[in-house]
């Protein structure tokens, strides 16, 4: 009754091609982003920053990146953890080598370096597809983590082999290090997420996005109608790795503060991000967010209910959470194999007709 | 440049093409030509090598022997996407639409050879990328109107019925505004009404857009009515070549289709 498009006529192609075609959607998103920028920074505290908001934002970027590669271009990758490590180590080397560098630039450069590495490891995709490609990218995961463990130059020859983010600033405000205020790290991540989500949307709705989807849906037909598979696949790898590298840089320097490659960027991270986009919805921008939120917030929610609310022992709850999350993943995949974004889309379609569905 | 002045009205010539996969000879010594603005049918029994011929024309297969002249130039062996850029579009025997995308996006993908803003403008969207998008959208909308598929513009093509998918696929090929349009069984599996529509579209495309069409089709009624000239293949050999009437009365063709007692 309230949520509908009737009366909202599109008189130009420009209007018809905008991101949110329904006025209510558009206003809701604008208000939501305004709320996130203008209200949340005043309310945020350390707990909300560290366990809820920043992880969701960081994983959203990683999920966006992987979704571009897997969901839009159809190239299955299990190298996410390794590429995040590249971003993390790039940001570490950049922050330690150029202490004056603005963190925004550090993060972008880290993304750029990861994009280059991504292209390199994306080369096999020109020859192999599907599960075989997944195995090839798996090799990159293990190789990169091994590399960062074995070559001391990457961790500046520190005795522990760990990398620790030094305190770095944006416009005089600490973003990394223990003294960074919660609102600053949050706003830093939020800005990057909003900008990159917009860029992802722009890329996927234009020529490049269509060439990715064409390769995904039918690669031979795509090539015959004029899509260059080389360009489409490698650009998908580059953009995807760029995002994942940015996520890795933020994950290490803003969120963790200190990292050790095997622990922080292991194969479990690759699978975690893959689960996020499968649960959220392959080939949707919104799905990347909802999947990232689902996978990072569900454990927090269960923990708060069971430990905080019911007073159960922590170790028991930790195991219960694993079982519950696994069960929920299965439930949602059975209910809707195309992910939560598809459920949301169906709900919206129903809502458009409500309360008179016939 | 290899201009051949006396045959300027030929859009495509294939000369002495032979193709084999390992020991299997698919095509042997096939030559024929396609004039500008004609509808050229390629017919023959199953396994005759018709689709392989189309695959050679749009560069998906590379023949062991023979040469292809397109638009007055001898063509070097190139990747299919580069050949698409030279102006050859096609539809497929089994529908090869991009199932996850809407009708509109499928048609827009058909215009990919004509779009060229770089990835950074695309990321920004405002400016050149948006202008290009709208400019091509206008052209695509003309094709949507022409094919009367306005109502399914935003529908994912995977949800469309078969006949509609065939029509969208024709639309995607049309969107490329190619010089030569290859149609691989555009009417396979359609009912009479859908076939009539499709015939009308093919004739109109030929008339209104001045597109040269090469057509594979099993429905002889359709082939004989639509095409200007017909080439007949059987087991990788060329049996006959000529106007529909000549082909219809050719004894070897009749034998190949009806079967004769070998003695």
pLDDT tens profile B177-195: 999 999 999 998 899 999 9
Per the listing, tokens 């597809």 go with A129
Are A205 and B96 contacting, i.e. CB atoms less than 8 angstroms apart?
no
Q: Taking residues A87-97, what's their average pLDDT?
A: 95
Predicted structure pTM score: 0.92
Q: How close B246 comes to chain A (CA, Å)?
A: 33
B2, pLDDT greater than 70: no
Nearest CB to B98: which of A203, A217, A226? A217
What is the percent of chain A with per-residue pLDDT over 70, rounded to a whole number? 98
A1, pLDDT greater than 70: no
Residues of A in contact with B97 (CB under 8 A): 217-218, 221
Are A280 and A340 contacting, i.e. CB atoms less than 8 angstroms apart?
yes
| Residue B134 to residue A13, Cβ atoms within 8 A | yes
Question: Among A309-313, B141-145, B207-211, which range has the highest average pLDDT?
Answer: B141-145
| Residue B123 to residue A203, Cβ atoms within 8 A | yes
**Does residue A11 or residue B203 have the better pLDDT?**
B203
Q: Among candidates A53, A113, A15, which has minimal Cα distance to A296?
A: A53
| Residue B81 to residue A223, Cβ atoms within 8 A | yes
Q: Taking residues A279-292, what's their average pLDDT?
A: 93
B4, pLDDT greater than 60: no
- Mutate which of A207, A209, A232 to disrupt the B interface (most B C-beta within 10 Å)? A207
Residues of B in contact with A222 (CB under 8 A): 98, 109
Indicate the range of A302-311, B147-156, B171-180 predicted with least confidence: A302-311
| Residue A208 to residue B119, Cβ atoms within 8 A | yes
- Mutate which of B52, B56, B125 to disrupt the A interface (most A C-beta within 10 Å)? B125
Residue A336's pLDDT is 84
**Band of residue B5 on the pLDDT scale cut at 50, 70, 90:** very low
| Residue B105 to residue A235, Cβ atoms within 8 A | no
Chain A's closest residue to B56, CA to CA, is A224
Question: And the tokens for A307?
Answer: 């430990």
| Residue A17 to residue B119, Cβ atoms within 8 A | no
| Residue A13 to residue B138, Cβ atoms within 8 A | yes
Are A105 and A162 contacting, i.e. CB atoms less than 8 angstroms apart?
no
Residue A5's pLDDT is 67
Q: How close B27 comes to chain A (CA, Å)?
A: 21
| Residue A226 to residue B98, Cβ atoms within 8 A | no
DSSP notation for chain B = ----GGGTTEEEEEEEEEEEETTEEEEEEEEEEEETT-EEEEE-STTSSHHHHHHHHTTSS--SEEEEEETTEEPPP--HHHHHHHHEEE--SS----TTSBHHHHHHHHTGGG----HHHHHH-TTHHHHHHHHHHHHHHHHHHHHT-GGGTTSBGGGS-HHHHHHHHHHHHHHTT-SEEEEESTTTT--HHHHHHHHHHHHHHHHHS--EEEEE-S-HHHHHHH-SEEEEEETTEEEEEE-HHHHHT-HHHHHHHH-----
Q: Among candidates A53, A51, A81, which has minimal Cα distance to A66?
A: A81
Indicate the SS3 state at residue A45. coil
A204, pLDDT greater than 70: yes
Nearest CB to A227: which of B96, B112, B117? B112
Quote the CA–CA distance of B17 and B40 in Å, as a whole number: 18
Question: And the tokens for B248?
Answer: 């219809």
A293, pLDDT greater than 90: yes
Q: Taking residues A341-356, what's their average pLDDT?
A: 83
Strand pairing category for B237-242 and B229-234? antiparallel
Query: Domain ranges in chain B?
Result: 5-97+176-258
Is residue B98 less than 8 Å (CB to CB) from chain A?
yes
Contacts by residues A19-27 (CB-CB < 8 Å, ≥ 24 positions apart): A19/A201, A19/A205
Q: Taking residues A162-167, what's their average pLDDT?
A: 90
A328, pLDDT greater than 50: yes
Query: Domain ranges in chain A?
Result: 44-266
Q: How close A60 comes to chain B (CA, Å)?
A: 18
| Residue A218 to residue B96, Cβ atoms within 8 A | yes
Query: Residue A274 contacts by C-beta under 8 Å, 6 or more apart in sequence?
Result: A66, A70, A78, A80
Query: Residue A232 contacts by C-beta under 8 Å, 6 or more apart in sequence?
Result: A73, A208, A211, A212, A214, A215, A222
Is residue B221 less than 8 Å (CB to CB) from chain A?
no
Q: Taking residues A48-76, what's their average pLDDT?
A: 95
Q: Taking residues B225-237, what's their average pLDDT?
A: 92
Residues of B in contact with A235 (CB under 8 A): 119
Is residue B118 less than 8 Å (CB to CB) from chain A?
no
**Does residue A311 or residue B213 have the better pLDDT?**
B213
CA quadruple A230, A235, A238, A243: dihedral sign: negative
Helices (H) and strands (E) in chain A, counts: 17, 4
**Does residue B129 or residue B262 have the better pLDDT?**
B129
Residues of B in contact with A223 (CB under 8 A): 60, 79-81
Chain B's closest residue to A73, CA to CA, is B100
Residue A4's pLDDT is 66
Chain B's closest residue to A201, CA to CA, is B123
Residue B261's pLDDT is 66
ipTM score: 0.90
185-244 of A, contacting B, C-beta below 8 A: 199, 202-203, 205-208, 210-211, 213-214, 216-218, 220-229, 235, 239
Q: Taking residues A151-178, what's their average pLDDT?
A: 89
Query: Residue B135 contacts by C-beta under 8 Å, 6 or more apart in sequence?
Result: none
Is residue A310 less than 8 Å (CB to CB) from chain B?
no
Are B190 and B3 contacting, i.e. CB atoms less than 8 angstroms apart?
no
Question: And the tokens for A27?
Answer: 């206003």
Is the domain defined by B5-97+176-258 classed in CATH 3.40.50.300? yes
What is the percent of chain B with per-residue pLDDT over 90, rounded to a whole number? 69
Q: Which residues pair with B12 in a beta bridge?
A: B34, B70
Quote the CA–CA distance of B135 and A72 in Å, as a whole number: 24
Is residue A260 less than 8 Å (CB to CB) from chain B?
no
Is residue B79 less than 8 Å (CB to CB) from chain A?
yes
pLDDT digits (tens, 9 = 90+) for B27-51: 999 999 999 999 999 998 888 899 9
């Amino acid at each position: 009754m309230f949520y509908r498009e009737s009366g909202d006529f599109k008189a130009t192609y420009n209007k018809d091609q905008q991101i949110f075609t329904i006025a209510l959607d558009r206003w809701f998103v604008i208000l939501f982003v305004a709320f996130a920028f203008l209200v949340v920074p005043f309310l945020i505290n350390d707990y909300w920053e560290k366990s809820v908001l920043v992880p969701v934002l960081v994983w959203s970027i990683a999920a966006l990146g992987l979704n571009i590669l897997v969901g839009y271009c159809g190239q299955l990758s299990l190298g996410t953890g390794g590429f995040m490590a590249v971003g993390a180590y790039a940001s570490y080397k950049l922050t330690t080598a150029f202490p004056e560098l603005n963190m925004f630039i550090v993060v972008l450069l880290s993304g750029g370096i990861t994009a280059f590495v991504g292209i390199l490891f994306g080369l096999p995709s020109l020859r192999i597809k599907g599960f075989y490609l997944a195995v090839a990218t798996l090799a990159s995961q293990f190789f990169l983590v091994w590399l960062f463990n074995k070559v001391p130059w990457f961790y500046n020859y520190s005795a522990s082999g760990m990398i620790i983010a030094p305190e770095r600033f944006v416009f005089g405000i600490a973003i990394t290090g223990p003294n960074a205020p919660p609102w600053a790290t949050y706003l830093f991540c939020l800005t990057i997420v909003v900008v990159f989500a917009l860029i992802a949307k722009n890329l996927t709705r234009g020529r490049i996005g269509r060439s990715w989807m064409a390769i995904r849906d039918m690669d031979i037909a795509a090539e015959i109608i004029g899509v260059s598979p080389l360009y489409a696949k490698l650009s998908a790898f580059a953009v995807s790795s760029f995002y994942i590298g940015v996520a890795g840089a933020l994950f290490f320097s803003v969120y963790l503060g200190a990292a050790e490659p095997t622990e922080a960027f292991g194969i479990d991270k690759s699978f975690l991000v893959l689960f996020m986009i499968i649960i959220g919805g392959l080939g949707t921008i919104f799905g990347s967010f909802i999947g990232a939120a689902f996978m990072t917030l569900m454990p927090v929610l269960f923990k708060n209910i069971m430990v905080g609310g019911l007073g159960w022992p922590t170790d028991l709850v930790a195991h219960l959470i694993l079982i519950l999350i696994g069960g929920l993943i299965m439930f949602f995949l059975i209910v809707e194999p195309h992910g939560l974004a598809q459920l949301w889309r169906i709900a919206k379609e129903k809502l458009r007709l409500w309360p008179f569905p016939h | 440049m290899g201009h051949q002045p006396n045959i300027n009205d030929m859009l495509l010539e294939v000369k002495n093409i032979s193709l084999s996969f390992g020991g299997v000879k698919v095509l042997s010594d096939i030559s024929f030509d396609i004039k500008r603005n004609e509808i050229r049918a390629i017919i023959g029994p199953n396994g005759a090598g018709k689709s392989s011929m189309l695959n050679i024309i749009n560069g998906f297969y590379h023949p062991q022997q023979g040469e292809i002249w397109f638009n007055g130039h001898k063509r070097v062996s190139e990747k299919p996407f580069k050949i698409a850029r030279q102006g050859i579009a096609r539809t497929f025997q089994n529908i090869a639409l991009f199932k996850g995308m809407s009708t509109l996006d499928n048609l827009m993908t058909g215009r990919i050879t004509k779009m060229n803003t770089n990835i950074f403008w695309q990321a920004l969207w405002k400016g050149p990328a948006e202008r290009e998008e709208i400019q091509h959208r206008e052209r695509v909308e003309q094709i949507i109107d022409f094919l009367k598929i306005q109502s399914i513009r935003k529908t994912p093509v995977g949800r469309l019925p078969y006949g509609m998918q065939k029509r969208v696929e024709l639309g995607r090929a049309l969107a490329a505004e190619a010089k030569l349009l290859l149609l691989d069984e555009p009417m396979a599996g359609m009912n009479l009404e859908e076939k009539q529509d499709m015939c009308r579209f093919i004739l109109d495309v030929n008339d209104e857009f001045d597109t040269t069409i090469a057509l594979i089709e099993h429905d002889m009624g359709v082939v004989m009515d639509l095409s200007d000239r017909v080439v007949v293949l059987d087991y990788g050999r060329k049996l006959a070549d000529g106007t529909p009437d000549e082909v219809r009365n050719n004894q070897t063709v009749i034998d190949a289709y009806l079967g004769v007692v070998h003695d």
